[in-house]
A = this chain, B = another copy of it.
Amino acid sequence: MRRDEIPTPALLLDLARFERNLERMAAHVRRAGKHLRPHAKTHKCPEIARRQVAAGALGVACAKLGEAEVMARAGIRGLLITTEIVPPAGLARLVRLLGEAPETLVVVDHPENARELGRAAAAGGVVANVLVDVDVGNRRTGVAPGASTVELAREVAAHRSLRLRGLQGYAGQCAHVVGWEARRAASRAAMASLMETRGLLEAAGLPVEIVAGGSTGTYDIDVELPGLTELQSGSYCVMDLDYRRIGGRSGDALTDFEMALTVVTTVISVPAADRAVVDAGFKSFATDRPFPPEAVERPGIEYGWAGDEHGRLTLRDPDRPVRLGERIEFFPPHCDPTINLYDRVWAVRGSEVEGVWEITARGRSD
Protein backbone atom coordinates (compact mmCIF):
# COMPACT_ATOMS: atom_id res chain seq x y z
CA MET A 1 0.00 0.00 0.00
CA ARG A 2 1.12 3.52 -0.70
CA ARG A 3 1.17 6.43 1.71
CA ASP A 4 -1.40 8.29 -0.41
CA GLU A 5 -3.85 5.37 -0.23
CA ILE A 6 -4.19 5.34 3.56
CA PRO A 7 -7.79 6.20 4.55
CA THR A 8 -7.88 9.55 6.35
CA PRO A 9 -7.64 10.83 9.00
CA ALA A 10 -4.77 8.55 9.99
CA LEU A 11 -1.67 8.60 12.15
CA LEU A 12 1.63 8.25 10.27
CA LEU A 13 5.08 7.47 11.61
CA ASP A 14 8.01 8.45 9.39
CA LEU A 15 10.30 5.46 9.91
CA ALA A 16 13.54 7.12 8.81
CA ARG A 17 13.05 9.94 11.30
CA PHE A 18 11.86 7.59 14.05
CA GLU A 19 14.87 5.31 13.62
CA ARG A 20 17.26 8.26 13.80
CA ASN A 21 15.52 9.45 16.99
CA LEU A 22 16.02 6.02 18.61
CA GLU A 23 19.68 5.93 17.56
CA ARG A 24 20.38 9.45 18.82
CA MET A 25 18.88 8.85 22.24
CA ALA A 26 20.65 5.49 22.55
CA ALA A 27 24.00 7.10 21.70
CA HIS A 28 23.30 9.95 24.11
CA VAL A 29 22.62 7.76 27.15
CA ARG A 30 25.54 5.50 26.26
CA ARG A 31 27.90 8.49 26.16
CA ALA A 32 26.46 9.80 29.43
CA GLY A 33 26.85 6.43 31.17
CA LYS A 34 23.13 6.30 31.96
CA HIS A 35 20.29 3.92 31.24
CA LEU A 36 17.10 4.63 29.32
CA ARG A 37 13.63 3.31 30.18
CA PRO A 38 11.55 5.40 27.74
CA HIS A 39 7.99 6.26 28.60
CA ALA A 40 5.57 4.08 26.63
CA LYS A 41 2.67 6.33 27.63
CA THR A 42 3.78 8.36 24.60
CA HIS A 43 3.09 5.64 22.06
CA LYS A 44 1.21 2.77 23.79
CA CYS A 45 2.53 0.58 20.98
CA PRO A 46 4.34 -2.73 21.68
CA GLU A 47 6.14 -2.60 18.31
CA ILE A 48 7.68 0.78 19.20
CA ALA A 49 8.59 -0.53 22.66
CA ARG A 50 10.29 -3.56 21.08
CA ARG A 51 12.37 -1.28 18.87
CA GLN A 52 13.32 0.90 21.82
CA VAL A 53 14.50 -2.16 23.73
CA ALA A 54 16.37 -3.41 20.65
CA ALA A 55 18.13 -0.01 20.57
CA GLY A 56 19.35 -0.57 24.12
CA ALA A 57 16.58 0.54 26.47
CA LEU A 58 16.21 -1.37 29.78
CA GLY A 59 12.50 -1.78 29.13
CA VAL A 60 9.76 0.84 29.10
CA ALA A 61 8.02 3.03 31.64
CA CYS A 62 4.21 2.83 31.74
CA ALA A 63 1.91 5.46 33.20
CA LYS A 64 -0.72 2.94 34.24
CA LEU A 65 -1.09 -0.71 35.18
CA GLY A 66 -3.30 -1.33 32.13
CA GLU A 67 -0.53 -0.11 29.85
CA ALA A 68 1.97 -2.38 31.61
CA GLU A 69 -0.37 -5.38 31.24
CA VAL A 70 -0.45 -4.81 27.47
CA MET A 71 3.33 -4.44 27.26
CA ALA A 72 3.96 -7.54 29.39
CA ARG A 73 1.55 -9.57 27.27
CA ALA A 74 3.50 -8.44 24.18
CA GLY A 75 6.68 -9.80 25.76
CA ILE A 76 8.23 -6.49 26.80
CA ARG A 77 10.18 -6.79 30.06
CA GLY A 78 11.88 -4.24 32.32
CA LEU A 79 8.65 -2.35 33.02
CA LEU A 80 8.31 0.55 35.45
CA ILE A 81 4.78 1.68 36.34
CA THR A 82 5.22 5.36 37.14
CA THR A 83 1.83 5.96 38.81
CA GLU A 84 0.72 4.63 42.17
CA ILE A 85 -1.64 1.62 42.12
CA VAL A 86 -4.22 2.09 44.86
CA PRO A 87 -7.53 0.17 44.42
CA PRO A 88 -7.55 -3.39 45.85
CA ALA A 89 -8.55 -4.77 42.42
CA GLY A 90 -5.57 -2.96 40.90
CA LEU A 91 -3.21 -4.50 43.46
CA ALA A 92 -4.63 -7.94 42.65
CA ARG A 93 -3.98 -7.33 38.94
CA LEU A 94 -0.47 -6.15 39.76
CA VAL A 95 0.25 -9.37 41.63
CA ARG A 96 -0.81 -11.34 38.54
CA LEU A 97 1.44 -9.13 36.39
CA LEU A 98 4.37 -9.76 38.75
CA GLY A 99 3.84 -13.47 38.32
CA GLU A 100 4.50 -12.95 34.62
CA ALA A 101 7.08 -10.12 34.75
CA PRO A 102 8.59 -10.24 38.27
CA GLU A 103 11.22 -7.56 37.61
CA THR A 104 8.50 -4.92 37.06
CA LEU A 105 9.03 -1.79 39.19
CA VAL A 106 6.20 0.05 40.91
CA VAL A 107 6.08 3.33 42.83
CA VAL A 108 4.55 4.39 46.14
CA ASP A 109 4.10 7.82 47.71
CA HIS A 110 2.13 6.99 50.88
CA PRO A 111 2.72 4.59 53.78
CA GLU A 112 -0.85 3.30 53.57
CA ASN A 113 -0.30 2.38 49.91
CA ALA A 114 3.05 0.75 50.80
CA ARG A 115 1.33 -1.41 53.42
CA GLU A 116 -1.51 -2.42 51.07
CA LEU A 117 1.01 -3.23 48.35
CA GLY A 118 3.07 -5.26 50.82
CA ARG A 119 0.01 -7.17 51.98
CA ALA A 120 -1.16 -7.90 48.41
CA ALA A 121 2.31 -9.06 47.33
CA ALA A 122 2.68 -11.27 50.42
CA ALA A 123 -0.76 -12.79 49.89
CA GLY A 124 0.11 -13.48 46.25
CA GLY A 125 3.50 -14.96 47.10
CA VAL A 126 5.43 -12.40 45.04
CA VAL A 127 8.00 -9.71 45.80
CA ALA A 128 7.33 -6.26 44.36
CA ASN A 129 10.27 -4.08 43.32
CA VAL A 130 9.55 -0.58 44.58
CA LEU A 131 10.75 2.96 43.93
CA VAL A 132 9.65 5.72 46.26
CA ASP A 133 7.98 8.43 44.15
CA VAL A 134 9.30 11.83 45.25
CA ASP A 135 7.57 15.14 44.50
CA VAL A 136 10.33 17.32 43.04
CA GLY A 137 8.00 20.29 42.64
CA ASN A 138 5.58 18.88 40.07
CA ARG A 139 2.81 18.96 42.68
CA ARG A 140 1.19 15.83 41.31
CA THR A 141 2.03 12.47 42.88
CA GLY A 142 5.05 11.92 45.12
CA VAL A 143 6.00 12.20 48.76
CA ALA A 144 7.91 15.30 49.92
CA PRO A 145 11.68 14.95 49.49
CA GLY A 146 13.92 14.67 52.55
CA ALA A 147 12.80 13.10 55.81
CA SER A 148 9.34 12.08 54.54
CA THR A 149 10.91 10.10 51.72
CA VAL A 150 13.37 8.41 54.08
CA GLU A 151 10.50 7.46 56.38
CA LEU A 152 8.49 5.99 53.50
CA ALA A 153 11.58 4.16 52.18
CA ARG A 154 11.98 2.57 55.64
CA GLU A 155 8.34 1.51 55.56
CA VAL A 156 8.92 -0.15 52.16
CA ALA A 157 12.15 -1.78 53.32
CA ALA A 158 10.36 -3.22 56.36
CA HIS A 159 8.09 -5.43 54.21
CA ARG A 160 9.51 -8.80 53.22
CA SER A 161 7.29 -8.82 50.16
CA LEU A 162 8.62 -5.46 48.96
CA ARG A 163 12.11 -4.79 47.69
CA LEU A 164 13.24 -1.17 47.86
CA ARG A 165 15.17 -0.36 44.71
CA GLY A 166 15.44 3.43 44.80
CA LEU A 167 13.67 6.64 43.86
CA GLN A 168 11.61 8.22 41.09
CA GLY A 169 11.39 12.01 40.69
CA TYR A 170 9.57 13.44 37.68
CA ALA A 171 9.97 17.20 37.28
CA GLY A 172 7.11 17.62 34.83
CA GLN A 173 7.05 21.35 35.52
CA CYS A 174 10.49 21.66 33.89
CA ALA A 175 9.89 19.57 30.76
CA HIS A 176 8.46 22.42 28.66
CA VAL A 177 10.35 25.43 30.03
CA VAL A 178 11.24 27.42 26.90
CA GLY A 179 14.96 28.05 26.40
CA TRP A 180 17.65 25.51 27.17
CA GLU A 181 19.49 27.54 29.85
CA ALA A 182 16.26 28.42 31.67
CA ARG A 183 15.16 24.80 31.48
CA ARG A 184 18.50 23.62 32.81
CA ALA A 185 18.30 26.02 35.76
CA ALA A 186 14.74 24.89 36.53
CA SER A 187 15.56 21.19 36.29
CA ARG A 188 18.73 21.48 38.37
CA ALA A 189 16.82 23.30 41.11
CA ALA A 190 14.04 20.70 41.08
CA MET A 191 16.28 17.65 40.90
CA ALA A 192 18.60 18.95 43.64
CA SER A 193 16.04 17.82 46.22
CA LEU A 194 16.00 14.34 44.69
CA MET A 195 19.80 14.14 44.79
CA GLU A 196 19.89 15.29 48.42
CA THR A 197 17.25 12.73 49.28
CA ARG A 198 19.31 10.05 47.59
CA GLY A 199 22.16 11.01 49.93
CA LEU A 200 19.87 10.74 52.96
CA LEU A 201 18.79 7.24 51.97
CA GLU A 202 22.39 6.14 51.48
CA ALA A 203 23.37 7.64 54.84
CA ALA A 204 20.52 5.67 56.41
CA GLY A 205 21.81 2.47 54.82
CA LEU A 206 18.83 2.13 52.51
CA PRO A 207 19.39 0.84 48.95
CA VAL A 208 19.23 3.36 46.10
CA GLU A 209 20.20 1.29 43.12
CA ILE A 210 17.85 3.14 40.75
CA VAL A 211 17.08 6.85 40.53
CA ALA A 212 14.72 7.48 37.62
CA GLY A 213 13.49 10.74 36.13
CA GLY A 214 13.80 13.14 33.24
CA SER A 215 11.75 14.11 30.21
CA THR A 216 12.43 14.77 26.55
CA GLY A 217 12.86 18.43 27.50
CA THR A 218 15.60 17.64 30.02
CA TYR A 219 17.18 14.59 28.36
CA ASP A 220 20.56 16.34 27.96
CA ILE A 221 20.29 18.18 31.30
CA ASP A 222 19.43 15.51 33.85
CA VAL A 223 22.22 13.19 32.70
CA GLU A 224 24.64 15.73 34.24
CA LEU A 225 23.46 14.54 37.67
CA PRO A 226 25.78 11.79 38.96
CA GLY A 227 23.00 10.45 41.17
CA LEU A 228 20.48 9.87 38.37
CA THR A 229 20.72 6.36 36.94
CA GLU A 230 18.06 6.31 34.22
CA LEU A 231 16.03 8.57 31.96
CA GLN A 232 12.26 8.21 31.40
CA SER A 233 12.02 10.49 28.32
CA GLY A 234 9.15 9.42 26.07
CA SER A 235 8.27 11.94 23.38
CA TYR A 236 11.76 11.97 21.81
CA CYS A 237 10.89 8.96 19.64
CA VAL A 238 8.19 10.79 17.67
CA MET A 239 8.33 14.46 18.85
CA ASP A 240 5.55 17.07 18.61
CA LEU A 241 5.02 20.82 18.23
CA ASP A 242 5.04 21.38 21.99
CA TYR A 243 8.50 19.90 22.41
CA ARG A 244 9.86 21.46 19.23
CA ARG A 245 9.08 24.97 20.50
CA ILE A 246 10.97 24.67 23.80
CA GLY A 247 14.29 25.19 22.02
CA GLY A 248 17.50 23.20 22.12
CA ARG A 249 21.01 23.76 23.38
CA SER A 250 21.56 25.90 20.33
CA GLY A 251 18.58 27.38 18.59
CA ASP A 252 14.96 28.32 19.10
CA ALA A 253 13.63 24.90 18.14
CA LEU A 254 14.45 21.55 19.73
CA THR A 255 15.81 19.80 16.63
CA ASP A 256 17.87 17.12 18.43
CA PHE A 257 15.00 14.77 17.59
CA GLU A 258 12.97 14.84 14.38
CA MET A 259 9.26 15.36 13.91
CA ALA A 260 8.34 11.78 12.99
CA LEU A 261 4.60 11.82 13.69
CA THR A 262 1.91 13.34 11.47
CA VAL A 263 -1.82 13.08 10.94
CA VAL A 264 -2.83 12.84 7.30
CA THR A 265 -6.14 14.45 6.36
CA THR A 266 -8.21 15.01 3.24
CA VAL A 267 -9.70 18.29 2.02
CA ILE A 268 -13.42 17.57 1.90
CA SER A 269 -14.85 21.03 1.23
CA VAL A 270 -13.54 24.11 -0.64
CA PRO A 271 -16.20 26.73 0.02
CA ALA A 272 -14.06 29.78 -0.87
CA ALA A 273 -10.65 30.70 -2.30
CA ASP A 274 -9.26 31.52 1.14
CA ARG A 275 -10.86 28.65 3.04
CA ALA A 276 -11.01 24.86 3.00
CA VAL A 277 -12.13 22.11 5.35
CA VAL A 278 -10.27 18.91 6.26
CA ASP A 279 -11.71 15.75 7.81
CA ALA A 280 -9.89 15.95 11.17
CA GLY A 281 -10.97 17.73 14.35
CA PHE A 282 -11.10 17.07 18.11
CA LYS A 283 -11.35 13.32 17.52
CA SER A 284 -8.14 13.26 15.45
CA PHE A 285 -5.90 15.67 17.36
CA ALA A 286 -5.63 16.13 21.14
CA THR A 287 -6.53 19.71 22.06
CA ASP A 288 -4.81 20.10 25.43
CA ARG A 289 -2.18 22.54 24.13
CA PRO A 290 -3.03 26.19 23.39
CA PHE A 291 -1.99 26.01 19.74
CA PRO A 292 -3.37 24.12 16.73
CA PRO A 293 -1.84 21.46 14.44
CA GLU A 294 0.68 22.75 11.87
CA ALA A 295 0.55 21.85 8.16
CA VAL A 296 3.71 20.02 7.08
CA GLU A 297 5.67 22.01 4.50
CA ARG A 298 2.66 24.21 3.69
CA PRO A 299 3.49 27.60 5.23
CA GLY A 300 0.45 29.37 3.74
CA ILE A 301 -2.04 27.10 5.52
CA GLU A 302 -3.38 27.73 9.02
CA TYR A 303 -5.46 25.07 10.78
CA GLY A 304 -8.37 26.13 12.99
CA TRP A 305 -10.50 23.83 15.17
CA ALA A 306 -13.95 23.29 13.66
CA GLY A 307 -15.52 20.61 15.82
CA ASP A 308 -15.23 16.89 16.44
CA GLU A 309 -14.51 15.88 12.87
CA HIS A 310 -13.47 19.00 10.97
CA GLY A 311 -10.60 21.46 10.70
CA ARG A 312 -11.04 24.82 8.99
CA LEU A 313 -8.03 25.88 6.92
CA THR A 314 -7.30 29.53 6.31
CA LEU A 315 -5.35 29.83 3.07
CA ARG A 316 -2.90 32.74 3.24
CA ASP A 317 -1.17 32.12 -0.07
CA PRO A 318 -3.46 32.86 -3.06
CA ASP A 319 -0.88 31.29 -5.39
CA ARG A 320 -1.26 27.92 -3.66
CA PRO A 321 -4.94 27.02 -3.55
CA VAL A 322 -5.93 23.60 -2.22
CA ARG A 323 -8.14 21.30 -4.23
CA LEU A 324 -10.99 19.06 -3.23
CA GLY A 325 -9.61 15.65 -2.27
CA GLU A 326 -6.08 16.91 -1.67
CA ARG A 327 -4.22 15.23 1.20
CA ILE A 328 -2.52 17.45 3.77
CA GLU A 329 -0.40 16.22 6.69
CA PHE A 330 -0.20 18.00 10.04
CA PHE A 331 2.14 17.85 13.00
CA PRO A 332 0.08 17.32 16.18
CA PRO A 333 0.46 19.77 19.08
CA HIS A 334 0.93 17.00 21.68
CA CYS A 335 1.94 13.47 20.71
CA ASP A 336 0.81 11.31 23.69
CA PRO A 337 -2.92 12.10 23.82
CA THR A 338 -3.08 12.33 20.02
CA ILE A 339 -1.67 8.81 19.59
CA ASN A 340 -4.19 7.68 22.22
CA LEU A 341 -6.99 8.57 19.76
CA TYR A 342 -5.87 5.98 17.19
CA ASP A 343 -6.05 2.18 17.08
CA ARG A 344 -3.04 1.94 14.76
CA VAL A 345 -0.15 3.90 13.34
CA TRP A 346 0.94 3.58 9.71
CA ALA A 347 4.72 3.17 9.54
CA VAL A 348 5.81 4.86 6.31
CA ARG A 349 9.11 5.20 4.48
CA GLY A 350 8.89 7.86 1.81
CA SER A 351 5.81 7.11 -0.27
CA GLU A 352 5.48 3.49 0.88
CA VAL A 353 3.72 1.92 3.85
CA GLU A 354 6.11 -0.48 5.54
CA GLY A 355 3.85 -1.64 8.33
CA VAL A 356 0.71 -1.01 10.34
CA TRP A 357 1.37 -1.16 14.08
CA GLU A 358 -1.38 -1.68 16.61
CA ILE A 359 -1.56 0.87 19.42
CA THR A 360 -2.60 -1.96 21.68
CA ALA A 361 -2.56 0.01 24.94
CA ARG A 362 -4.72 2.80 23.49
CA GLY A 363 -7.37 3.74 26.01
CA ARG A 364 -5.73 1.69 28.76
CA SER A 365 -5.73 4.39 31.44
CA ASP A 366 -6.87 1.88 34.05
Residues of the B chain whose Cβ atoms lie less than 8 Å from the Cβ of A110: 269-270, 324
Given that A283-B337, A363-B341 are contacting pairs, would A309 and B41 also be in contact in the complex, using a CB cutoff of 8 Å? yes
Q: Which of A9, A63, A308, A312 has the most CB of B within 10 A?
A: A308
We find that the number of chain A residues with CB closer than 8 angstroms to chain B is 65
Say which residue of B10, B268, B336, B343 sits within 8 Å of A141 (CB atoms): B268
Counting CB contacts under 8 A, is A295 at the interface? no
B310 contacts A83, C-beta separation under 8 Å: yes
Counting CB contacts under 8 A, is A279 at the interface? yes
1/0 contact string of A253-282 vs chain B (CB within 8 Å)? 000000000000011111100010101101
Q: How far is the CB of A274 from chain B (nearest CB, A)?
A: 11
Q: How far is the CB of A265 from chain B (nearest CB, A)?
A: 10
Counting CB contacts under 8 A, is A293 at the interface? no
Counting CB contacts under 8 A, is A240 at the interface? no
1/0 contact string of A193-207 vs chain B (CB within 8 Å)? 000000000000000
1/0 contact string of A308-333 vs chain B (CB within 8 Å)? 11101000000000001100000000
Counting CB contacts under 8 A, is A30 at the interface? no
* Interface secondary structure of A, over-half rule: loop
Jot down 16 A-B pairs with beta carbons below 8 A, ordered by A: A5-B89, A7-B90, A9-B365, A84-B268, A88-B325, A110-B269, A112-B324, A135-B271, A139-B275, A139-B312, A172-B307, A280-B365, A282-B336, A287-B288, A308-B337, A341-B363
- Nearest first, the 8 closest Cβ-Cβ pairs linking A and B are A141-B269, A287-B288, A282-B337, A7-B366, A63-B309, A282-B288, A86-B268, A84-B268
New A-B pairs, 4, CB < 8 Å, besides A84-B268, A284-B365: A41-B309, A83-B268, A83-B279, A362-B363
